[in-house]
Structure 1
Amino acid sequence: MRELKIYDFNRCLPRMSWSPQNLYNLYRRSIGDEARKAQWTRTTVSLFSQRWQSKALTRAYHGDFIPEKIFKRWYLPKVLPDVRPRVKRNIDVEQSGLARWAKKDSVAEQEEKIREEEEAKGLAPVGSLMFMEVERRIDVVIFRACLAPSVYEARRMVVHGSVLLNGKKHENPGTRLAPGDLVSVDPAEIRFLQHPQESSSKKASEDGETENTSGDEEQAAPERIANSIRAKPYALVYKSKSDLTPFNLPDYASPFLFVPAYLEPSFKTCSVVYVRHPTARPGYSEIPTPYDADGEIVRFAWEWYAKRRPKIRSKSQRAREPENRQALEES
């Protein structure tokens, strides 16, 4: 079960959330006082403790809602993927030599400059790709597409039946998507697309408070728009600003407003397409993480799991595997 104090300032663990408390914890772990505690260059902490603390930091952000046993068994890759370029270096050298022989010095210089930049960047930061399977989850995709202010809110949308997967209602937040899957969210469940009083009353009702509603209450904006479309199918005329869809972005949300390259969202339809699996290239990793994609914290976390991964998967254990749409399509 997920802990209650997820934004505790004493532990200071970043989460997948737009919360101001989480932004403060993220600042402390990035450039604040807590950042120096996780620098293992000069420390008296044992290697075992370094790996354990690194594992705790990465798991707090990447899937703290997933039980540890389930994560190690189904969401942890066996090996890190190889993302090195397939073109051999000697072929590039031959091409630049041919360009100089053909008196195309500008082309040869450009190819040599590109090759030098790739060598300077070094290998791709594949350490963060250990969380590639977590990024395929439908609740994480909704959060990454900026359709929910936190991954916990995205899980609530899925469990309550407010999410469609390829046009059908889907209520399993642990489903791993396949490339090309379309995820749609009900606009009425997105809080920053509602009026402030409506979103606050909805949040109060979910916390257990009772709210009094009357039959003469004014229709919501999406319903008024739908009724106007039925009355005038070829011309939609807005009589006032109240007919427009409200947009109230939460405070301190701007640092989190980015979309990874492997997603293609459509904010007009409140949907997102999972285009492909995340990958990495020299100097860049597509998986968002509050830590260095190939730094000590991520490397030590991988070393921790490399020695403690489950080795046997029986038939009874495979029956409890979370839904993997790509495996179903390939079989």
Structure 2
Amino acid sequence: QKVRATWNKYNLYNLWRLRAQFTARQTYYQQKWEAKSMTRAYHGEHIAEKKWQRMFSPRASAVVSFNPEYLATNDGSEFAAGRGSGKEVISKPGDKKIGPRKNYIPFMNMTYAPIERRLDMAVWRAMFASSARQARQFVIHGMVKVNGKKMPHAGYLLNPGDMFQVDVDRVLYATGASKTVSQAKSGRKLRKVQSRAKKLGAAPKKKKSVAPTAVSSTSAARAQPIAKTKVDIDEVRRQRRLDLRELLVQIDDVLKDKRRRVGAKRKITIRAFVRDVRLAMATVSRKTEKELDDQLSSLISQLAIAKAGHDESSTTKEPVSKPAGPSPEEQMALREAIKEARENPVDASKAYATPWRPRPYMSAFAFIPKYLEVNHNICSAVYLRHPQVRKGMAEVPSPFPEHTQQLAFNWYLRRGR
């Protein structure tokens, strides 16, 4: 299978299976065609071949780096001194020897540099979409702005200094984990309620009477947040039940730990904690979101108390003191967890799983090219300059080796300008 421009887990497996092109039994034409086929599957597979052939240019922008010490010392006249091609300067013993491969500039790795200027490819390179096709869909549907204006053309070529931004919800949907079955059901239920409330609010506008319109619009405005709140609180309660079950699992691990001896007084504390958790699970459906948060924080503090300390009565004859409260570090961790839960709440109306978390297998594709400056907090990026090639490096990201890139370049060279 070919490697595509996507974060799919199957594509990651194909990337792991990618091997160098076997050219021993192929003609030069077959080598070039296979290299073109492999590279085009990754670089702009959604672009028509004729259109890409018009975009291709054999001329790549390169940067030749000079030694600033050499430029400050000489003015170029030394090349006219001495015999032949110039005066040879014997290198100092401390100078680093530069091999021929380090001075090599891989021009042919810039074959697909014109595609990197496209708006949809820049959106994908900035990690605002999970694939190049999804980035193209965002652009066509009007979710991307360039320099503050909506740009519905995926093939728009960015210029140095252009800023583009993507709708935040779309980025969270593209880069976040997918919903579970229960979350998807809650989302569908919420959308039905919202659409029904919207119809009830829009229907009375056709009548000319003023009083019924005002009453119906007021009732619809009341019904919509009530219905939304009902679905949201159901999702929060379901999440709190899962949290309480996790607390029971943790305290059960404490009892099963054979390395620690659980004394009688500690068992009494643990049993009291288990009773409180089970009582909280029985009363989850009758409490508000704030009461559930306060109850969960209180139970987490009790869990820290129940897990802290050892049974010292078996080793010392001194009476066991009352267990101390949570340490300042534990209190700080608890506050951070509650703050994170409030900043990243459970919302069934979103198209992605909440609380938001990154999609699986995302770390293998998490990189930003040098020609982009990205701010993921506001989902905006700046196209700094065109991709460039320099000694030993080309700025066009590609999973293919240099030999394959050279063959692909030679395939398009006779068809380019």
* Same fold at TM > 0.5: yes
What is the distance in 1 between the residues matched to 2:176 and 2:361?
Answer: 18
Question: In structure 2, how many angstroms separate the alpha carbons of the residues matched to 1:89 and 1:187?
Answer: 47
Q: Matches of 1:53 and 1:194 in 2, distance apart?
A: 35
**Residue matched to 1:166:** 147
Query: Percent same amino acid among aligned pairs?
Result: 30
Deviations 1:216-264 (A, max 9, x none): 22499xxxxxxxxxxxxxxxxx986454245321111111001011100
Counterpart check, 1:217 vs 2:238: no
Distance 1:200 1:263 in 2: 39
Which among 150, 175, 190 is matched to residue 131 of structure 2?
A: 150
1:147-296 to structure 2, matched below 5 A, reads: 147-190=128-171, 191=173, 196-197=178-179, 212-215=191-194, 216-218=227-229, 241-245=340-344, 246-292=355-401, 295-296=402-403
One-letter identity of the residue aligned with 1:266:
N
The structure with the larger Rg is: 2
Q: Quote the offset at 1:81 in angstroms.
A: 3.8
Residue matched to 2:50: 69
Question: What is the CA distance between 1:138 and its match in structure 2?
Answer: 0.8
The one-letter amino acid paired with 2:164 is V
Taking a change above 3 Å as real, the CA distance of residues 200 and 48 of structure 1, as seen in their structure-2 partners, is farther
Q: Is the 8 A contact 1:118 1:282 kept in 2?
A: no
| CA deviation string 1:22-52 (max 9, x = no partner) | 10111111xxxxx15x132xx1211111000
CA distance, structure 2, for counterparts of residue 193 and residue 213 of structure 1: 26
Q: Determine if contact 2:374/2:382 at 8 Å carries over to the other structure.
A: yes
Q: Once the 2 structures are TM-superposed, how far is the Cα of residue 157 of structure 1 from its aligned partner?
A: 0.8
Q: Which has the higher contact order (CA 8 A, sep 6+)?
A: 2
Q: Which structure shows the bigger proportion of residues in helix conformation?
A: 2
State the SS of the aligned residue for 2:159.
coil
CA-CA distance at 1:122 after TM superposition? 2.5
1:119 Cα deviation after fit: 4.5
Q: Report the more deviating stretch, 238-247 or 279-288.
A: 238-247
Change (3 A) 1:201 1:63: farther
Q: Is the 8 A contact 1:291 1:298 kept in 2?
A: yes
Q: Assess if the C-alpha contact under 8 Å between 1:192 and 1:247 holds in 2.
A: no
Q: 1:17 aligns with which of 3, 6, 16?
A: 6
CA shift for structure 1 position 148? 1.0
Counterpart CA distance in 2 for 1:167 and 1:66 is 26
**Amino acid aligned to 2:7:** W
3-state SS of 2:112 partner:
helix
Q: Residue 406 of structure 2 aligns with which residue?
A: 299
TM-score (norm 1): 0.67
State how far apart, in whole Å, the 2-side matches of 1:241 and 1:253 are: 22
Residue 287 of structure 1: CA displacement?
Answer: 1.1
Structure 1: 5+ residue stretches without partners: 1-11, 30-34, 96-107, 221-237, 312-331
Residues in 1 aligned to 2:73 and 2:340: alpha-carbon distance in whole angstroms = 62
Q: Is the 8 A contact 1:80 1:129 kept in 2?
A: yes
TM-aligned CA deviation for residue 71 of structure 1: 0.3
**Aligned to 2:6, what secondary structure does the other structure show?**
coil
Preserved CA contact (<8 Å) 1:193 1:247: no
Q: Distance in 2 between matches of 1:127 and 1:138?
A: 23
- Give the 3 Å change call, closer, same or farther, for CA 57–195 of structure 1 in structure 2: closer
SS of alignment partner, residue 272 of structure 1: strand
Distance 1:296 1:195 in 2: 37
CA contact (8 A) 2:62 2:390 kept: no
Q: Is the 8 A contact 2:60 2:389 kept in 1?
A: no
* TM-score under structure 2 length normalisation: 0.54
Retained in 2: the 8 A contact 1:262–1:274?
yes
Aligned residues: 253
- Give ranges in structure 2 of 5+ residues lacking alignment: 76-91, 195-226, 233-336, 345-354
1:247 to 1:109, Cα distance in 2 relative to 1, 3 A: farther
Aligned-partner Cα distance in 1 for 2:52–2:360: 32
Q: What is the 5 A alignment of 1:98-177?
A: 112-113=95-96, 116-117=97-98, 119-177=100-158
Cα distance between partner residues in 1 of 2:67 and 2:340: 56
